[in-house]
Amino acid sequence: MNRSVYRSFTTQVLPLPYPKEDFTGKTVLITGANTGIGLEAARHFVRLNASKVILGCRDVEKGNAAKRDIESTNHVDATSNPGRVEMWQVDLASFDSVKNFCQRAAKLDRLDIVVENAGILGMTYTVAEGYERITTVNVISTWLMALLLLPVLRATKEKFHTGSAESRGDSNVPHLVIVGSNAHFYTVFDGRDKPSIMEHYRGDSDMFHRYANTKLISLFFAREVAARMLERKGRGKPEVVLNVVEPGSCKTQLLREKEAWPWAYKAFVTVGFGLVGRTAEMGARTYIWAAAAGWKSHGLYLEDCKLSTPHEFVESAEGAKLQKKIYGELVEILEKISPGVTENI
Ligand SMILES: NC(=O)c1ccc[n+]([C@@H]2O[C@H](COP(=O)([O-])OP(=O)(O)OC[C@H]3O[C@@H](n4cnc5c(N)ncnc54)[C@H](OP(=O)(O)O)[C@@H]3O)[C@@H](O)[C@H]2O)c1
Atom nearest to 34 CA in ligand 1:
43
Residues with active-site annotation: 181, 211, 215
Atom nearest to 255 CA in ligand 1:
20
Nearest-Å Rg of the Cα atoms of the chain is: 19
CA atoms within 13 A on the CB side of 185: 15
Nearest Cα residue to atom 47 of ligand 1: 119
Ligand 1 pocket check: which of 37, 258, 279 to mutate, most ligand atoms within 8 Å of Cβ? 37
Ligand 1 geometric centre to CA of 34 (Å)? 9
pLDDT for the residue 101:
98
Q: How far apart are CA 199 and CA 193, in angstroms?
A: 12
Ligand 1 geometric centre to CA of 167 (Å)? 36
Nearest Cα residue to atom 5 of ligand 1: 249
Q: How far apart are CA 127 and CA 134, in angstroms?
A: 8
pLDDT for the residue 7:
67
Q: How many CB atoms lie within 10 A of CB 260?
A: 10
Ligand 1 geometric centre to CA of 119 (Å)? 4
Q: How far apart are CA 139 and CA 142, in angstroms?
A: 5
From first to last of its 345 residues, what are the pLDDT tens digits of the chain?
556 666 677 788 889 999 999 999 999 999 999 999 999 999 999 999 999 999 999 999 999 999 999 999 888 877 777 789 999 999 999 999 999 999 999 999 999 999 999 999 999 999 999 999 999 999 999 999 999 999 999 999 989 876 555 554 466 899 999 999 999 999 999 999 999 999 999 999 999 999 999 999 999 999 999 999 988 876 667 789 999 999 999 999 999 998 888 899 889 888 888 889 999 999 999 999 999 999 899 999 999 999 999 999 999 999 999 999 999 999 999 999 999 999 999
Q: Residues 147-178, buried b or exposed e (16+ Cβ, 10 A)?
A: bbbbbbbbbbbeebbeeebeeeeebbbbbbbb
CA atoms within 13 A on the CB side of 334: 25
Ligand 1 geometric centre to CA of 66 (Å)? 14
Ligand 1 geometric centre to CA of 293 (Å)? 22
The alpha helices in the chain, defined as continuous H runs, are: 5-13, 36-47, 60-73, 95-106, 133-135, 142-160, 165-168, 197-200, 210-233, 263-276, 280-291, 317-337
Nearest Cα residue to atom 26 of ligand 1: 118
In 3-state terms, what secondary structure has residue 179? strand
Q: How many CB atoms lie within 10 A of CB 128?
A: 18
Q: How many CB atoms lie within 10 A of CB 11?
A: 18
Nearest Cα residue to atom 17 of ligand 1: 254
Atom nearest to 32 CA in ligand 1:
43
Distance from the Cα of residue 333 to its chain's centroid: 19
288 contact partners, CB below 8 Å, separation of at least 6: 19, 21, 41, 44, 45, 48
In 3-state terms, what secondary structure has residue 201? coil
Which is nearest to 166 in space by CA: 25, 304, 298?
Answer: 298
Instruction: Enumerate the domain spans of the chain.
Output: 22-338
Atom nearest to 252 CA in ligand 1:
19
In 3-state terms, what secondary structure has residue 131? strand
Nearest Cα residue to atom 7 of ligand 1: 181
Structurally, at CATH architecture level, domain 22-338 sits in: 3-Layer(aba) Sandwich (3.40)
Which residues contact ligand 1 via a Cβ below 6 A? 31-32, 34-38, 58-59, 62, 90-93, 117-120, 137, 179, 181, 246-247, 249-250, 252-254
Read out DSSP for 251-297?
-SSTTTTGGGS-HHHHHHHHHHHHHHPBPHHHHHHHHHHHHT--GGG
Distance from the Cα of residue 335 to its chain's centroid: 21
pLDDT for the residue 241:
95
Q: How far apart are CA 308 and CA 213, in angstroms?
A: 19
Helices (H) and strands (E) in the chain, counts: 12, 10
